[in-house]
Structure formats: C-alpha cells, structure tokens
C-alpha cells in the first residue's frame, strides 16, 4: 500500500469494517499525515489540512485523529507532557527523542528484540503493546533509518524562572 489511491482504499475499508463512514474530512486528515514522514501535532495537522479544506474545524481534526488511531492507521506518540503527536509509521519501531534539536527519529526494532522484551514480563502479564522511547543526543552526521522533524520543543533546563 503506497500510492494515494491505495491509501485511500485502505482507509475506506478500515472505516467501513468498523461501521464508520469514509468522509472527506477523514480522507484529507489521513492524506496529510501520510504526505510527510514526521510526527505532527493536532495543531500542525489542522494547519496543513486547512489549506486543502479551509472550512474544517479543529474539533473535527481531533475527531478524525481519534478515529484513525482507533482504526490503527496511524499511531499516537506522547513524549513528556508535550502535545500529542501522530505517526504514519506503522512498523514496529521505537522513538529517539533528540533533546538538543527536539527532533524525533524512528528506530526500527528487530523482531527478536520484541520477543525478548515480552520475556522480561513475569508470568501472568500479557502485553498487547510496547512503547519504547530513547532520549539523548544524535550526532549531526548520522543517517538514521528514518528521520522525522518535530517542532522544536526544547524544554528549558531546571531553575530558569
């Protein structure tokens, strides 16, 4: 699934499978998220969507995002207390949060590692999802698997007030 029309077909199918309707708003929100391989916030998505559909409301963007997450077409990313971000990458992956630039990088996770992670759980614990986030600094020259921009939300150091 890669071309816009394939993505659109996937969206329609998933929505109908969930008893939901494929609306223009859901289409455009999904399309806008797939266009860039980054991790935009609801506000950023709202801004991008408005250029194509100026009458859409922020509440609708939130509604659509909730629906897309529910249909497993996008992923939700929460870092610290910052606004929720949304991620079009559905492959099993971790996030690397570069504290100096504010960038978020996707880090692919080998299947074996996922298995090992499940193995650390005591008997009786069944994990349906695993969230892994690294925090640190990435060298400027490094070429990660996927690099994704992120609004520069540098949190100022302790005791700045």
With CB cut-offs between 5 and 8 Å by kind, which of DNA, its own copies, none does residue 151 bind? none
> Residues 7, 14, 25, 105: which binds DNA (CB under 7 A)?
25
Establish if 23 lies at the interface with DNA (CB under 7 A).
yes
Q: What is the binding site for its own copies (CB under 8 A)?
A: 66-67, 70, 78, 80-81, 84, 94, 96, 99, 105, 107-110, 113, 116-117, 120-139, 141-145, 158-159
The Cα–Cα gap between 98 and 100 comes to 6
With CB cut-offs between 5 and 8 Å by kind, which of DNA, its own copies, none does residue 120 bind? its own copies
Distances (CA, A) of 98 to 86, 104, 119: 17, 6, 28
Establish if 131 lies at the interface with DNA (CB under 7 A).
no
Is residue 11 within a helix (H) or strand (E), and if so which, with residue range? helix 4-17
Closest distance between DNA and the C-beta of residue 147, in Å?
Answer: 23
In Å, the largest CA–CA distance within the chain is 52
Question: Following DSSP, what letter does each residue of 14-81 receive, concatenated?
Answer: HHHHTT----HHHHHHHHHHHHSSS--BHHHHHHHHHHH-TT--HHHHHHHHHHHHHTTSSEEE--TT
* Closer residue to DNA (CB): 9 or 117: 9
Side-by-side strand order, sheet with 146-148: 93-98, 104-108, 146-148
Establish if 87 lies at the interface with DNA (CB under 7 A).
no
In contact, 108 and 102? CB cutoff 8 Å: no
Token couple for 74: 């996008």
Closest distance between its own copies and the C-beta of residue 47, in Å?
Answer: 21
Establish if 24 lies at the interface with DNA (CB under 7 A).
yes
Task: Show contacts with DNA in window 27-86 (CB under 7 A).
Answer: 41-43, 53, 55-60, 62-64, 66, 81, 83-84
- Which residues of the chain form contacts with DNA (CB under 7 A)? 15, 19-21, 23-26, 41-43, 53, 55-60, 62-64, 66, 81, 83-84, 161
């Amino acid at each position: 699934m890669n071309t816009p029309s394939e993505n659109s077909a996937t969206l329609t199918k998933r929505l109908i499978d969930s008893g939901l309707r494929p609306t223009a708003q859901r289409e455009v929100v999904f399309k806008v998220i797939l266009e860039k391989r980054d991790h935009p916030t609801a506000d950023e998505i709202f801004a991008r969507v408005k250029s194509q559909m100026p009458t859409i409301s922020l509440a609708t963007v939130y509604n659509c995002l909730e629906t897309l997450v529910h249909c497993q077409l996008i992923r939700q990313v929460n870092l610290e207390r910052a606004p929720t971000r949304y991620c079009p990458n559905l492959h099993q992956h971790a996030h690397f949060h570069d504290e100096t630039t504010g960038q978020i990088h996707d880090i692919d996770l080998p299947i074996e590692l996922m298995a090992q992670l499940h193995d650390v759980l005591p008997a009786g614990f069944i994990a349906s999802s695993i969230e892994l986030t690294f925090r640190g600094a990435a060298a400027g020259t490094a070429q990660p698997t996927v690099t994704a921009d992120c609004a520069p939300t540098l949190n100022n150091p302790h005791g700045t007030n």
